[in-house]
């Protein structure tokens, strides 16, 4: 058996999918709760669950619906170790989903639209700023691409006003900043830094 999250913005967020007999399928949201979601996040090395969803929040899956009425206690090593019904009366509009603590998502705030402003990252359940001490062209390119905002044309700096601070260092172009080297709330590299900002040449929808 194997497990993955699909339809999210990182490998630590999305619709819960299991592989059984060589084919991927989904899990029904009947009785789906935080204990079940925690087992998924831990199994995927994505930390703890911060949110759980039903109602195909990350889109409808395809294939078989492999589990219903999942009843994890939260300490199980694998989702398939939890008691569950193998027969179901569900459709894919009831596919279960989860957001884990190691998921990262980004936004630009305070600019003319979602393609300009201060860089903010949602991580471990809270929004943080990004230190500009290692914020260079490559990091800005990766972020503008991730947000569907084209290319960076200007760098801005802001003050840190959120509780956490993130630092990113990209060696090459990556699909997202989470694929670069990153550290969270380490004071030394952020000492005397400003909060990074960027203007991308695209416009947000």
**Residues near 101 by Cβ (< 8 Å), separated by ≥ 6?**
12, 41, 46, 47, 48, 49, 50, 123, 124, 125
pTM above 0.85, yes or no: no
Neighbour-count burial of 172, counting CB atoms closer than 10 A to its CB (0-12 exposed, 13-18 middle, 19+ buried): exposed
Task: Give the pLDDT confidence score for residue 188 in this predicted structure.
Answer: 85
Cα 46 to Cα 49, 81, 85, 101, 174: the distances in Å are 8, 18, 26, 6, 19
Provide the CATH number for the domain around residue 161: 3.10.250.10
Residue numbers of the domain that contains 151: 105-200
45 and 20 assigned to the same domain: yes
Give the count of domains, the chain: 2
pLDDT range class, residue 93, cuts 50, 70, 90: very high
Q: Which pLDDT band, with edges at 50, 70 and 90, does 204 fall under?
A: confident
pLDDT for position 205: 65
Domain for residue 205, yes or no? no
39 located within any domain: yes
Beta carbons within 10 angstroms of residue 198's beta carbon: 27
Q: Please say which residue of 55, 80, 100 terminates a domain.
A: 100
Q: Which two tokens stand for residue 184?
A: 């969270």
Q: What confidence tier does 191 reach under pLDDT thresholds 50, 70, 90? A: confident
DSSP symbol at 142: H
Is residue 82 one of the residues assigned to a domain? yes
pLDDT at residue 14 tops 90: yes
Same domain (yes/no): 17, 88: yes
Distance CA 110, CA 117 (A): 5
Nearest to 59 by CA among 17, 30, 24: 17
Of 93, 88, 79, nearest to 5 (Cα)? 79
Residues 110 and 133 reside in one and the same domain: yes
Q: What local confidence, expressed as pLDDT, does residue 57 receive?
A: 97
């Amino acid at each position: 058996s194997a497990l993955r999250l699909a339809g999210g913005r990182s490998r630590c967020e999305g619709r819960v999918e299991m592989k059984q007999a060589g084919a991927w399928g989904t899990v029904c949201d009947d009785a789906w709760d935080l204990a079940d979601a925690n087992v998924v996040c831990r199994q995927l090395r994505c930390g703890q669950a911060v949110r759980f969803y039903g109602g195909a929040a990350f889109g409808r899956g395809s294939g078989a619906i492999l589990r219903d009425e999942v009843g994890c206690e939260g300490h199980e090593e694998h989702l398939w170790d939890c008691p569950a019904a193998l027969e179901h009366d569900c459709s894919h509009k009831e596919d279960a989903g989860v957001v884990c603590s190691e998921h990262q998502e980004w936004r630009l705030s305070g600019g003319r639209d979602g393609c300009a402003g201060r860089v903010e990252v949602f991580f471990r359940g809270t929004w943080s700023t990004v230190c500009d001490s290692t914020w260079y062209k490559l990091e800005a390119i990766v972020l503008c691409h991730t947000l569907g905002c084209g290319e960076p044309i200007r760098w801005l700096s802001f003050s840190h006003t959120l509780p956490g601070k993130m630092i990113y260092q990209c060696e090459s172009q990556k699909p997202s900043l989470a694929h670069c080297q990153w550290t969270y709330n380490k004071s030394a590299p952020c000492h005397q830094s400003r909060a990074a900002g960027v203007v991308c040449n695209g416009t947000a929808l």
